[in-house]
C-alpha cells in the first residue's frame, strides 16, 4: 500500500475515532546553528540535562566503553575473519537490542506506566492489521529489527574493526591524541545526523521510497521497535556512516559508539511520547516531536533538528497549523 493511502487511512481513522493527539507547546531545536549565537544558551544545551551530552549521548558512549572493555574480542583476534568472534559480536548486539528496545516497549506499551499522557498519537500500536507482517505492528517491527538490522549492523562493525586491526583503517589512541580522541566523540552525533539526512532524502526518491523506505513508513503511529524497522537496503545505507572511520583516524571505541548510537537512538526517537515517566516518578523529556511529524506528514523533517538542513531547504515543520498549510502548498503546488 502506498504512503498516501496509509496516511489517508490514518487521517480517516483519527477523525472517525476522534483520536486525541498531544502537541508540545513549543518545538525545541539545537542552538548550535541558531543565529544570533548565544554562548550561555549553547553551553546549557551542551552540558545541561537534557542536552547534547546528557543523557543519551553519554549513555551510548558508556555502553560503547563497557562493550569494548568486556564484550568485544581483541584487535589481535580480529585480524582474520573467524566465525567465533563475528558470532560473539552478533550475539552481543542482539542482546543489547533486546534489552534496550525491550525496556522502552515494556515500560511504555506493556506496563503503560503513564497511559496516553504525552503520547503524540492517542492510539496504541496496531493489531490485526494487513499493513504488517503477522498482522501485528509489534511483531513486524521486531522482525525487521532483529532479522535485518542487527545482522547488518554486526557486519559493518566486524568489517570496520577488522580493517582497524590490520591497519587498513587509520587508528589513534586516547593516550597519544587525547584532544583528537575527545573531539571525534563530540563530532560523531553531528556527522551521524548529517549522514542520516542525506540518506533519508535519497530514499524518499520515489523509486527507492516505493521499493525500500515505504516499509518504515508503515509506522504512522510509531513505537520503540519501529525505529529500526527498515528494509535491508535501508539498513545498509543507514549504518554506512561508519565508513568515515576508514578515512579519519579513530579508535575501536569510536566505531562502537558510532554504530551503537545509530542502533539505539531510534528506540528513543520513535517511542511515541514527548515525555517519559521514570520509575521514581520523575519525568524525562524525550522530545522527538520533530521526527514524529515526519511519520505523520511524510514530506517534512527529514533530519532530527540537530543540524538545520530542513530549515535551510524549507522542509521544517514545527507542528503548527501554519506549518501544515505551508507544507500543503509546497507539496501540492503544480510542478
CA distance 52 to 139: 32
Give, as one character, the DSSP assignment of residue 147: I
Mean pLDDT within 261-281: 95
Residue with cell 540535562: 49
Mean pLDDT confidence for 94-119: 97
pLDDT at position 14, please?
A: 44
Whether the bond into 50 is cis, omega within 30 of 0: yes
- Which triple of cell numbers denotes residue 93? 548486539
Residue 6 has what pLDDT?
Answer: 46
Task: Tally the residues of the chain.
Answer: 335
Residues 168-186 have a mean pLDDT of 98
pTM across the whole model: 0.93
Each residue of 11-25: b (16+ CB within 10 Å) or e?
A: eeebeeeeeeebebe
pLDDT for res 271: 97
Report the SS3 class of residue 171: strand
CA distance 115 to 276: 10
- Is the pLDDT at 255 greater than 90? The verdict is yes
pLDDT at 188 > cutoff 70: yes
The predicted-structure confidence for 28-78, as pLDDT tens digits, reads as follows: 788 888 888 888 999 999 999 989 999 999 999 999 999 999 999 999 999
Amino acid at each position: 500500500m502506498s504512503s498516501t493511502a496509509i496516511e489517508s487511512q490514518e487521517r480517516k481513522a483519527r477523525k472517525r475515532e476522534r483520536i486525541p493527539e498531544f502537541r508540545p507547546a513549543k518545538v525545541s531545536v539545537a542552538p548550535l546553528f541558531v543565529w544570533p549565537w548565544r554562548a550561555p544558551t549553547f553551553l546549557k544545551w551542551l552540558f545541561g540535562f537534557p542536552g547534547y551530552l546528557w543523557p543519551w549521548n553519554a549513555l551510548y558512549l558508556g555502553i560503547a566503553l563497557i562493550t569494548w572493555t568486556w564484550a568485544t574480542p581483541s584487535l589481535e583476534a580480529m585480524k582474520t575473519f573467524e566465525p567465533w568472534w563475528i558470532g560473539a559480536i552478533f550475539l552481543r548486539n542482539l542482546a543489547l537490542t533486546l534489552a534496550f528496545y525491550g525496556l522502552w516497549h515494556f515500560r511504555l506499551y506493556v506496563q503503560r506506566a503513564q497511559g496516553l499522557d504525552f503520547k503524540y498519537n492517542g492510539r496504541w500500536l496496531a493489531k490485526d492489521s494487513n499493513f504488517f507482517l503477522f498482522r501485528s505492528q509489534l511483531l513486524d517491527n521486531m522482525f525487521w529489527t532483529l532479522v535485518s538490522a542487527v545482522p547488518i549492523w554486526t557486519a559493518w562493525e566486524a568489517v570496520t574493526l577488522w580493517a582497524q586491526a590490520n591497519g587498513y583503517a587509520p587508528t589513534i589512541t586516547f593516550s597519544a591524541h587525547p584532544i583528537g580522541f575527545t573531539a571525534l566523540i563530540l563530532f560523531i552525533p553531528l556527522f551521524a545526523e548529517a549522514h542520516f539526512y542525506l540518506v533519508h532524502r535519497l530514499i524518499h526518491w520515489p523509486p527507492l521510497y516505493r521499493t525500500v523506505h515505504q516499509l518504515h513508513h508503515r509506522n504512522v503511529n510509531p513505537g520503540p521497535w519501529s525505529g529500526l524497522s527498515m528494509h535491508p537496503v535501508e539498513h545498509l545505507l543507514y549504518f554506512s556512516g561508519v565508513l568515515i572511520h576508514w578515512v579519519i583516524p579513530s579508535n575501536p571505541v569510536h566505531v562502537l559508539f558510532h554504530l551503537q548510537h545509530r542502533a539505539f537512538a531510534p528506540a528513543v526517537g520513535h517511542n511515541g511520547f514527548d515525555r517519559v515517566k521514570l520509575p521514581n516518578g520523575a519525568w524525562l523529556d524525550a522530545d522527538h516531536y520533530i521526527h514524529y511529524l515526519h511519520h505523520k506528514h511524510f514530506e517534512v523533517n527529514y533530519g532530527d533538528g540537530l543540524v538545520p538542513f530542513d530549515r535551510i531547504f524549507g522542509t521544517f515543520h514545527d507542528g503548527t497549523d501554519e506549518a501544515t498549510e505551508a507544507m500543503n502548498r509546497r507539496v501540492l503546488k503544480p510542478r
